[in-house]
Amino acid sequence: MQNANLPATRSRSITQQDVWQAADALLLAGQRPTIERIRLHLGRGSPNTVSPHLDAWFAGLGARLQDPQAFAAPASLPEPVNQAARYLWDAAQAEARATVSASYAARESELALARAAVEAEQAALAQERAILMAKLDAADNALAELARARDEASERAARAEAQLVAQQAENDAVRAALGRAQEEKDALLRDTASQRAAWDKERETMADRFGANERRMALELDGARVALREGQRQMDNERKAAQQKLADAAQAAGRQAEELAKVGNAVAVLDERVRQQDGLLAEYRQQLENRGEPDADIARAARPPIRKARPIRPARPPRFKV
């Protein structure tokens, strides 16, 4: 081994051999080689130049320590120097062992801390996995519940749709029945209007006939005219009542049969009243004939024909419920 204390010029750049020799000298002197100590020992050099050479020296130190001759003193040295060299060598090895042991202890501590951190992390992960599994089970249950709810909703929707279709068909049937009832009502109204027009025409004919003979029969037929007017008023009132009943029947299709029956009865009463009036007129004419009045033939000619009331056909009851 070359002596690290050999003089060196400042102009020469620092090499790896310079750094290694300085590190060996510091180690043999019982000091730990550092960048600043090597720079002081060499008297030159920058930290950026010394640092990589010193790292290489530490990297090869282990292999050199296994070689007993790596730091041995020359054989030509005196025995005291050799003893001092051996002492320094033993001290360097002890320091190296202490450094390695401390490094191993630090690494073991770091490994223990890392192991504890990993175990804690594993426990946390296990707990988190248990929580996630519980959430997953809850989600599966919720999805199953949602699937059941969806199936039930689908069944309810299908039933509702079927009911809607049935209700639509029933509504169509009801509308058709209402249409038929409306047609029957319109037919009844037309029939009633036709009968009412015939009655009005007959009444006008009777009024014309009575008007032609009114001047000749003024004295004899005053009571008859009064009775006729009274009957006419009653007939108009009853006709208006019948019309009101017909209007009520047009508003409610369900009450058509009953209202039309009442109208038929009212018409029958009117026909009966007309027959009564005709009978009364016949009695007056008979009285005139018994008196021998010259106008008996005229009164007989003015007598309206007795007309048989035509029965009104009752309406068929509706085949649906209103």
> Mind giving me the DSSP string for 155-200?
HHHHHHHHHHHHHHHHHHHHHHHHHHHHHHHHHHHHHHHHHHHHHH
For residue 67, pLDDT beyond 80:
no
Q: What is the pLDDT of residue 2?
A: 40
Which stretch of 13-22, 35-44, 275-284, 302-311 has the lowest confidence by average pLDDT?
Answer: 302-311
pLDDT exceeding 70 applies to what percent of the chain?
74
Q: Residue 258 pLDDT more than 70?
A: yes
Q: What is the mean pLDDT of residues 180-203?
A: 85
Q: What is the pLDDT of residues 175-187, one digit of tens each?
A: 888 888 898 888 8
Between 116 and 10, the higher pLDDT residue? 116
Distance CA 156, CA 172 (A): 24
The Cα–Cα gap between 54 and 4 comes to 14
Query: Are 231 and 213 in contact, with CB atoms under 8 Å apart?
Result: no
pLDDT for the residue 322: 40
The answer on pLDDT for 46 being more than 70 is yes
What pLDDT was estimated at residue 303?
55
| This prediction's pTM | 0.24
Separation of alpha carbons 276 and 235, rounded Å: 12
Q: What is the model's pLDDT at position 113? A: 85
Kindly list the domain boundaries of the chain, sorted by start residue: 16-105, 175-302
In eight-state DSSP terms, residue 2 is -
CA distance 45 to 36: 10
CB atoms within 10 A of CB 210: 17
Cα–Cα distance measured from residue 207 to residue 229, given in angstroms and rounded to the nearest whole number: 10
Instruction: Quickly state the pLDDT bin for 85 (edges 50, 70, 90).
Output: low
Which pLDDT does position 278 carry in this prediction? Answer: 84
Q: What is the mean pLDDT of residues 236-261?
A: 74
pLDDT at residue number 74: 53
Tokens coding 319: 């085949």
- pLDDT of residue 55 exceeding 50, the answer is yes
Model confidence band, residue 308 (pLDDT cutoffs 50, 70, 90): low
Q: What are phi and psi of 305, to 5 degrees?
A: -65, 140
User: What local confidence, expressed as pLDDT, does residue 6 receive?
Assistant: 40
User: In sequence order, what DSSP letters do the residues of 201-217 get, joined into one string?
Assistant: HHHHHHHHHHHHTTTTT
pLDDT in tens, 276-285: 888 888 887 8
At residue 38, the pLDDT reads 92
